[in-house]
Structure 1
Amino acid sequence: MSKTFYIETFGCQMNVHDSEKVIGTLEHQGYARVQDEADAGLILYNTCSIRDKAEQKVFHRLNEYKRLQGEGKKFAVLGCVAQQEGERIFEKAPYVSLVAGSASYRNLPEMLARLEAGETRITGLDDRQTDLTFETDFTSRSNPHRGYITIIEGCDKFCAYCVVPYTRGKERSRTSASVLVEARKMADLGYTDIQLLGQNVNSWRDPSGRMSFAELLTAIGNISGIRRVRFTTSHPRDFTRDIVQAIDATPALCDHIHLPVQSGSTAVLKAMSREYTRDWYLERMSWIHAAQRDISITSDMIVGFPGETDADFEETITLIDAVKYDAIFAFKFSPRPNTPAVHMADSTPESVKDQRLRILNDRQREIQRTHYARHLDQIVEIMVEGYNPTRNQVIGRSSQNKTVNFTTAQLENSTPPIGSYLPIRITQTMPNCLIGEALPPAGDATPFISINRTPHFVVLN
């Protein structure tokens, strides 16, 4: 087998960062990455099983490339589908040689050695009870400015609809010292935007007992060179008031919180095993709304969960009216393997689910159209992410995680570097983005900009 590899990643940011660590591990073992599967000796698929038909997508992709087996290529299936399907993958796709769940990635060097020795059915599974995390010094980060740090792996929540506890193992946290060492190394390498990851990132508990989650956020936000710190995804059950207080007190902590509610109905939340009520969730929203900074709030929602009535769905609509989210990610319920919801009577017709999803998205779009208007004439700091030559615009992202498309007087002669920070005056608001123009820089330095909760009041430090 040629020591070259091609990797394709499906799913969430956790999977993206897992792939960065897998890539670094492979390269440390002497493998060279290629951009075309036809040039690879080893083809890996890092899979996701959160959404419906994810397994079919993976097997379809494997089937597309099984013809390459005759050229001596090896195939590996990693991630959630690997853990969920286990050795059944060998039966469905006998040309696959390696199946490994994310809790086994730390054993990759040993599994690669066995693959090179000629073994054809290697598994890294059934490791749900491990207390170990996948920490490596060989992460191959794909973005030189924004980097991920996984602080907690696995999940112990067992929501009725979710497969993650069965595919990612139990919750296991890294020590605060380990996380801070990685963050400082990234800052020394020039990373300015750090995103902390976990299936339930705020469920992190310091094994050394030294820090709370809010204290960890603050410590990373105070590292020299780091300008932005994000975290995703939080769970409402572990969301504490000191997180909001930390964001208020630490400018580098982004003024954005993603806190999935899933439903606005207490009855549906109980059926989902979310273990909080509508009022309990709204209390946490009140903490965020009372903050000194204007904190952007986003959420995930499911419509058509088994037993959801029209009245339950209406409670979801009234919840988004009350919270005024800056964005939601809404999905129709679909049963996932091995979850309690598989055995619940799903009597809601697909047509009703479609209608509810459309109503929810339409209402949220109107909320965003109105809510985004608060940014008109504000000055926001953005990080440059790319360019749109068709519109002659630069694409950036605010600390509230909003896309900002803007023009600059310097664009004709030069473009601001990706990863740089600029002050932008917002001249137009859209339901899903902001439009603005770059302000002339003050000398050679871009000022740090913070925005008071009072609209249009801008503080330049």
Structure 2
Amino acid sequence: MNSPANRTFYIETFGCQMNAHDSEKVIGTLEHEGYRRVETEEDAGLILYNTCSIRDKAEQKVFHRLNEYKRMQGEGKQFAVLGCVAQQEGEKIFERAPYVSLVSGSASYRNLPQMLDRLQAGEQRITGLDDRQTDETFDTEFTARSNPHRGYITIIEGCDKFCSYCVVPYTRGKERSRTSESILAEARRMADQGYTDIQLLGQNVNSYRDPSLRMSFAEVLAAVAALPGIRRVRFTTSHPRDFTRDIVEAIDTIPAICDHVHLPVQSGSSAVLKAMQREYTREWYLERISWIKNATRDISMTTDIIVGFPGETDDDFEQTMSLLDVAGYDAVYAFAYSPRPNTPAITMEDSIPEEVKSERLQRLLTAQRERQRVSYSRHQGQIMDVMVEGYNRQRGQITGRSSQNKTVNFTTTQPILPALGSYCQVRVTATYPNSLVAEAVSVR
């Protein structure tokens, strides 16, 4: 058993930014309960895996990782599986990996202190599951933020969209929004602690509905951006069905709201979108793209695309390819379709051969890379603000990120390097498909 004298833990996180932020909450809770974080599994008394089930064979990867450390079972270590795979697989995890002591979905993280007490008392099979329909948000009191300058705030959890390929509604539960008051209170605390860049998170962040009926999503963006000390406000991920014009208007008129929108389309074909149960058409999506393109600011757009969904014809795929030119994305995160457990699409005949999926994926990625080369070139000679994130001493460059969420590598003639988290004004001197090169103009 993990004795009070050896309350050490190691945590490994798989998946998206929401999972990363979930881990920050888990870490904060563990540290408040007297645990100390260590860097390796060998040094830990408690080993936690915070899992994601979006990608193909995610649960197999988790069990493979657990099996790798089965040898540690005799060393008195305890194991916990958290997150989406935990919620998806439930108590079956105990059957396949009997040395696991704790299985918990994200909606139960607020109960972690009690579960940890039971773990310390010697209980062998503790579950925090089936709490996905609660109207309580899963916000926890303690968060150990990994970045002292940029931080996340989850404003909505879960999903009510039920896309036919997606496991999120089954692992994260129904949509549950926090009150605008609690969001702003957390944002104020972060600003007081020196955070200047805040990212609002949700499976469908713009589906936010204030339980207190005080603010729309766009108004929450504006309110966070107005807080003293906050220089950048980001949000992800948006769903086209709930993407409203006032969001674009807020970005266009409030400089602190970053000029970047990630708006997953998944397919350019209305027929495939219908099969995916995305609740919008190609035309609906393109109308929202037109709002973004007609803004005064140059708003960067990125998206997610699935190729090879069951029934996708050559013509359907070509309609997706045509979106690359129509929308002018600055990045596309594309994947070949793979069936996920417990989703409606798993009953569809996966009629697209794997080699066809692979060929379509490569065609799309190759075409998008060339378009990004052209798209990024528009920044040549521009002056922009960059938040300093790190240093590449081998190249003699400082690494940062622009308001459009683009990587910028720049140099400075100043003898002292700018501090992490500071903002530099730079002039772009070269462009590449995934990054910009610049030279510092001033630091402030």
Q: Provide TM-score, normalisation by structure 1.
A: 0.94
* Counterpart Cα distance in 2 of 1:220 and 1:316: 35
The equivalent of 1:25 in structure 2 is: 29
* Counterpart Cα distance in 2 of 1:420 and 1:210: 34
State the Cα distance separating 1:440 from its structure 2 match.
3.9
Name the aligned partner's letter for residue 406 of structure 1.
F
* Counterpart Cα distance in 2 of 1:301 and 1:134: 29
* Counterpart Cα distance in 2 of 1:264 and 1:84: 30
* Counterpart Cα distance in 2 of 1:8 and 1:200: 25
The equivalent of 2:327 in structure 1 is: 323
1:102 to 101, 106, 112: 106
Which 4+ runs in 1 deviate beyond 4 A? Answer: none
Question: Secondary structure at 1:109's aligned position in 2?
Answer: helix
Contact 2:156 2:176 in 1 (8 A): yes
Name the aligned partner's letter for residue 50 of structure 2.
N
* Counterpart Cα distance in 1 of 2:255 and 2:232: 8
The equivalent of 2:384 in structure 1 is: 380
* Counterpart Cα distance in 2 of 1:64 and 1:200: 35
* Counterpart Cα distance in 1 of 2:139 and 2:58: 27
1:272 to 254, 276, 291: 276
The equivalent of 1:183 in structure 2 is: 187
Question: Secondary structure at 2:246's aligned position in 1?
Answer: helix
2:439 to 437, 440, 454: 437
1:250 to 254, 273, 285: 254
* Counterpart Cα distance in 1 of 2:28 and 2:442: 40
The equivalent of 1:458 in structure 2 is: none
- Cα-to-partner distance string for 1:342-384 (whole Å, 9 max, x where unaligned): 0101111111111100110111111111111111110010001
The equivalent of 1:92 in structure 2 is: 96
State the Cα distance separating 1:414 from its structure 2 match.
2.2
* Counterpart Cα distance in 2 of 1:229 and 1:216: 10
Once the two structures are superposed, the pairs formed by residues 295-314 of structure 1 within 5 Å of their partners are 295-314=299-318
The equivalent of 1:418 in structure 2 is: 420
Once the two structures are superposed, the pairs formed by residues 311-390 of structure 1 within 5 Å of their partners are 311-390=315-394
* Counterpart Cα distance in 2 of 1:181 and 1:242: 23
- Cα-to-partner distance string for 1:20-72 (whole Å, 9 max, x where unaligned): 00111111111111111111111110000100021111111111111111111
2:430 to 410, 414, 428: 428
Gaps in structure 1 of 5+ consecutive residues: 447-461
* Counterpart Cα distance in 2 of 1:325 and 1:440: 30
The equivalent of 2:59 in structure 1 is: 55
* Counterpart Cα distance in 1 of 2:352 and 2:211: 44
Question: Secondary structure at 1:291's aligned position in 2?
Answer: coil
- Cα-to-partner distance string for 1:275-299 (whole Å, 9 max, x where unaligned): 1000000000000001010000000
- Cα-to-partner distance string for 1:236-267 (whole Å, 9 max, x where unaligned): 00000000001111110000000000000000
2:215 to 211, 223, 229: 211
* Counterpart Cα distance in 1 of 2:183 and 2:314: 45
Gaps in structure 2 of 5+ consecutive residues: none
* Counterpart Cα distance in 1 of 2:407 and 2:38: 31
Q: Choose 432-441 or 291-300, whichever is displaced more.
A: 432-441
The equivalent of 1:457 in structure 2 is: none
- Cα-to-partner distance string for 1:370-403 (whole Å, 9 max, x where unaligned): 1111111100100011111221111110000000
* Counterpart Cα distance in 2 of 1:128 and 1:425: 48
State the Cα distance separating 1:164 from its structure 2 match.
0.5
Contact 2:388 2:401 in 1 (8 A): yes
Q: Provide TM-score, normalisation by structure 2.
A: 0.98
* Counterpart Cα distance in 2 of 1:52 and 1:136: 30
* Counterpart Cα distance in 2 of 1:275 and 1:362: 29
- Cα-to-partner distance string for 1:164-220 (whole Å, 9 max, x where unaligned): 100011100000000000000000000000000000000110000000000000000
- Cα-to-partner distance string for 1:107-141 (whole Å, 9 max, x where unaligned): 11111111111110111111221111122231000
- Cα-to-partner distance string for 1:290-337 (whole Å, 9 max, x where unaligned): 101000000000000000000000000111110100101000000000
The equivalent of 1:125 in structure 2 is: 129
Residue 155 (structure 2) pairs with residue 151 (structure 1): yes
Question: Secondary structure at 2:113's aligned position in 1?
Answer: helix
Name the aligned partner's letter for residue 103 of structure 2.
V
Aligned-residue identity in percent: 75
* Counterpart Cα distance in 2 of 1:180 and 1:116: 36
* Counterpart Cα distance in 2 of 1:373 and 1:304: 31
- Cα-to-partner distance string for 1:68-111 (whole Å, 9 max, x where unaligned): 11111110000000000001100110000000011111111111
The equivalent of 2:19 in structure 1 is: 15
* Counterpart Cα distance in 2 of 1:204 and 1:35: 36
* Counterpart Cα distance in 1 of 2:396 and 2:132: 50
Q: Choose 305-314 or 124-133, whichever is displaced more.
A: 124-133
The equivalent of 1:456 in structure 2 is: none
Question: Secondary structure at 2:69's aligned position in 1?
Answer: helix
State the Cα distance separating 1:235 from its structure 2 match.
0.3
Q: Choose 30-39 or 161-170, whichever is displaced more.
A: 30-39
Question: Secondary structure at 1:181's aligned position in 2?
Answer: helix
Question: Secondary structure at 1:435's aligned position in 2?
Answer: strand
Residue 169 (structure 2) pairs with residue 173 (structure 1): no
